[in-house]
Amino acid sequence: MSRLQPRFAELKQANRAALVTFLTAGDPNYDTSLAILRGLPAAGADVIELGMPFTDPMADGPAIQLANIRALQNGQTLAKTLQMVREFRQTDQATPLVLMGYYNPIHKYGVERFIAAAQEAGVDGLIVVDLPPEHNDELCEPAQAAGIDFIRLTTPTTDDQRLPKVLHGSSGFVYYVSVAGVTGAGSATLEHVEQAVARLRRHTDLPISIGFGIRTPEHAATVARLADGVVVGSALVDRIAKAESSEQTVESVLKLCQELAEGIGSARR
Amino acid sequence: MNSFRSGPDERGLFGNFGGQFVAETLMPLINDLATEYEKAKDDPAFQQELAYFQRDYVGRPSPLYFAERLTEHLGGAKIYLKREELNHTGAHKINNCIGQILLARRMGKKRIIAETGAGMHGVATATVAARFGLQCVIYMGTTDIDRQQANVFRMRLLGAEVIPVTAGTGTLKDAMNEALRDWVTNVESTFYLIGTVAGPHPYPAMVRDFQAVIGQETREQLLEKEGRLPDSLVACIGGGSNAMGLFHPFLDEPGVNIIGVEAAGHGIDTGKHAASLNGGVPGVLHGNRTFLLQDEDGQIIDAHSISAGLDYPGIGPEHAWLYDIGRVEYTSITDHEALQAFHVCCRLEGIIPALESSHALAEVLKRAPQLPSDHLLVVNLSGRGDKDMQTVMHHLNLEEKPA
């Protein structure tokens, strides 16, 4: 069963928001990516989102587009991403791990085969950007039947009328995309986030994580006062782009992760 | 009643193809668009205005021309050219652009974005945006910008901002990704004017409806000239809008043989082509399930064609369905064959066809000689070749140089 529910429950008990980190699997290469992944829990990541690389990441900004290209150029495939999860689970059985990406590689791999492999590897949830609730029968329903959570993105354009439809079939947590835009773009105002969280709470009891445009420990701390989880992606991915060596990459990403975790840890004191 | 013309269903599906595979940010807007389009379609005022602009601005109906010398040269089927290249802006693209811009205006949108490959859709979009006084941003791959500079200049003359896209191979697919990113960011103010029968529902059906004027006119014109329906229809396919426009009104006519022509580039077995049906497998990209060029891992493979307008690794979902059920025959033509047909059309008919349309003509060169003289064959001359001068010159130079 999914590790997401117990993890969010523990954090609620401790009056602390979750740090949800996003990285693209295989960025910049398999070994470095696995080393980062293995270091994340100790560096304070509460939930891990692992991107499944795709040639055409339509909803991503430049940072994550480049991460996809780096990973693919170094031979990352969906099979290798699942292998990476298996290797991660050899050293960590507790941290929830969510695979995030686009539908086509899963479609090609075969939905049934993918769900079986993901379950066996120790995947807790899926976020598939281009599968809205209109296509729940494709992957959402079979994944949930197999005990894998399906996490929905909700956005500023998802109005009250549509929200129940989006939340129906959501599990694990709800990911609120705080700005209409691609990943890594500008961030929402605090007021907007506050209102959005309040609106979502009226519709769901699931934990709410906020993402898009959160880059610094200070910013993460502010959001952590309002939501159950804070998602950071592009800022971590940028560290990979800027690093000069493999060791430096791992160190630099994990350092930012630590700082973000400290920011979040201090938020509700 | 069994009809091939009743799709898509309420989920936007043609059989198992099509749908709405987009990010949540776009879903509410796409649903709005579908609702607004349904209303507009049934609104006589909208249809009247559309007809007015098609006639007085686009120059419709486009002639159905008996290609006498081409027919004589091939010594078989009687060949008619549907002269879409005579439309304002030089291709069929404007038919759809006029329809969508009227819808954008109706929805109160102030900003138009579009992707373009060869530049014909970009030019047509910039044209209608100028005509209706709306801000216009066109995304175009850098490879396409290099080979279609005249069209880039045209778009800028018309007041559009052309944004070069360097991602991927800098062709149509990458331009579409970037347009989608813009749309996700500016979703409330912006109307995304998609140029082909692809993308999330309602685009494939809506673009088809706006292009179906091609087939409707062809039907009337041929009945008038010959007193009967055609025996064969031939059109080239990238995304497939000119083909769908010609084909759709004839899908329920069992006597009409329908042939779509994909771009085989250097040849399908070389892997350098743009033939999604003949060389691809089903997948999900750009909002719809359709046939795609992709590798074993589901990563999209770059298409290749001499013609920028066919250089796309997917195809409209309705074509995917028509292929799947076997109603339409889909063949392919190489770069080399298209160039040969280009020359034949120039010399025999005094018409310089677009390299896209030259693929359809090349199929006719193969087919017509085998057919009897009473076989009526209509080929869609979807665009004119002025934009392709650079590309053709480049290939002539290559051919003239000793090996």
Q: What is the pLDDT of residues A154-185, one digit of tens each?
A: 999 999 999 999 999 899 999 999 888 888 87
Q: Do A158 and B300 lie within an 8 Å CB cutoff?
A: no
Active site residue A60: yes
pLDDT at residue number B402: 56
Q: Which residues of A touch B187 (CB under 8 A)?
A: 157, 180
List Cβ neighbours of B205 (8 Å cut-off, separation of 6 or more).
Answer: B7, B8, B12, B318
Give pairs for A77-80: CB < 8 Å, separation 24+: A77/B297, A78/A52, A78/A105, A78/A106, A78/A108, A78/A109, A78/A114, A78/B297, A78/B298, A79/A109, A79/B297, A80/A25, A80/A26, A80/A30
pLDDT at residue number B346: 98
d(CA B233, CA B222) in angstroms, rounded, equals 12
What does DSSP say about strands A97-101 and A47-51: parallel, antiparallel, or unpaired? Answer: parallel
d(CA A80, CA A204) in angstroms, rounded, equals 35
pLDDT at residue number B401: 63
How far CA B389 is from CA of A161, A178, B352, B354, B401, in Å, comes to: 53, 48, 10, 9, 18
pLDDT at residue number B213: 98
pLDDT at residue number B1: 55
Residue matched to tokens 């040269």: B73
d(CA B45, CA B47) in angstroms, rounded, equals 5
Q: Which of A104, A162, A182 sits opposite B185 (nearest CB)?
A: A182
d(CA A214, CA A216) in angstroms, rounded, equals 6
Q: What tokens does B119 get?
A: 């530049």
Domain boundary assignment for chain A: 4-259
Is the separation of the CB atoms in A231 and A214 below 8 Å?
Answer: yes
DSSP-assigned letters across all residues of A92-106: -SSS-EEEEE-HHHH
Residue A240's nearest CA partner among A76, A7, A60, A35 is A35
CATH class in words for B24-55+92-202: alpha beta
d(CA B16, CA B290) in angstroms, rounded, equals 9
List Cβ neighbours of B110 (8 Å cut-off, separation of 6 or more).
Answer: B134, B135, B189
Question: Looking at domain A4-259, what is its CATH homologous superfamily?
Answer: Aldolase class I (3.20.20.70)
CATH 3.40.50.1100 residue ranges of chain B are: 24-55+92-202, 59-90+212-400
* pLDDT for residue A232 is more than 90: yes
Residue B65's nearest CA partner among B366, B373, B380, B387 is B380
pLDDT at residue number A268: 82
pLDDT in 10s for each residue of chain B, 403 residues: 589 999 999 999 999 999 999 999 999 999 999 999 999 999 999 999 999 999 999 999 999 999 999 999 999 999 999 999 999 999 999 999 999 999 999 999 999 999 998 899 999 999 999 999 999 999 999 988 988 888 999 999 999 999 999 987 788 899 999 999 999 999 889 999 999 999 999 999 999 999 999 999 999 999 999 999 999 999 999 999 999 999 999 999 999 999 999 999 999 999 999 999 999 999 999 999 999 999 999 999 999 999 988 989 999 999 999 999 999 999 999 999 999 999 999 999 999 999 999 999 999 999 999 999 999 999 999 999 998 998 999 998 877 665 4
Q: How far is the alpha carbon of B177 from chain A, nearest alpha carbon, in Å?
A: 5
**CATH 1.10.10.10 for domain B59-90+212-400:** no
Say yes or no: ipTM exceeds 0.90.
yes
Is the separation of the CB atoms in B14 and B317 below 8 Å?
Answer: yes
Q: Do B181 and A59 lie within an 8 Å CB cutoff?
A: yes
Query: For residue B319, what is the DSSP state?
Result: H
Q: Do A59 and B284 lie within an 8 Å CB cutoff?
A: no
Q: Which residues of B have a CB under 8 Å from any CB of A?
A: 11, 19-29, 167-168, 173, 177, 180-181, 184-188, 281-287, 289, 292, 294, 296-300
Q: Do B24 and A109 lie within an 8 Å CB cutoff?
A: no
Q: Report which residue type is found at A8.
A: F
Q: Do B24 and A158 lie within an 8 Å CB cutoff?
A: yes
pLDDT in tens, A105-141: 999 999 999 999 999 999 999 999 999 999 999 999 9
Q: Which residues of A touch B181 (CB under 8 A)?
A: 58-61, 182
pTM of the model: 0.96
A241 CB within 8 Å of a chain B CB: no
Share of chain A above pLDDT 90, in %: 91
Query: What is the average pLDDT across A51-67?
Result: 95
Residue matched to tokens 């802006």: B89
Is the separation of the CB atoms in A123 and A98 below 8 Å?
Answer: yes
d(CA B22, CA B154) in angstroms, rounded, equals 32
Query: What is the average pLDDT across A34-41?
Result: 98
Interface test with B, best of A81, A82, A104 (most B CBs within 10 A): A104
d(CA B131, CA A68) in angstroms, rounded, equals 40
3-state secondary structure of A8: helix
d(CA B187, CA A39) in angstroms, rounded, equals 38
Query: What is the average pLDDT across A215-221?
Result: 95
pLDDT at residue number A117: 98
pLDDT at residue number B403: 47
Helices (H), B58-212: 68-74, 93-106, 120-132, 142-147, 149-157, 172-185, 203-211
Catalytic residues of B: 93, 115, 382
Confidence class for position A188, pLDDT limits 50, 70, 90: confident
Is the separation of the CB atoms in B301 and B295 below 8 Å?
Answer: yes
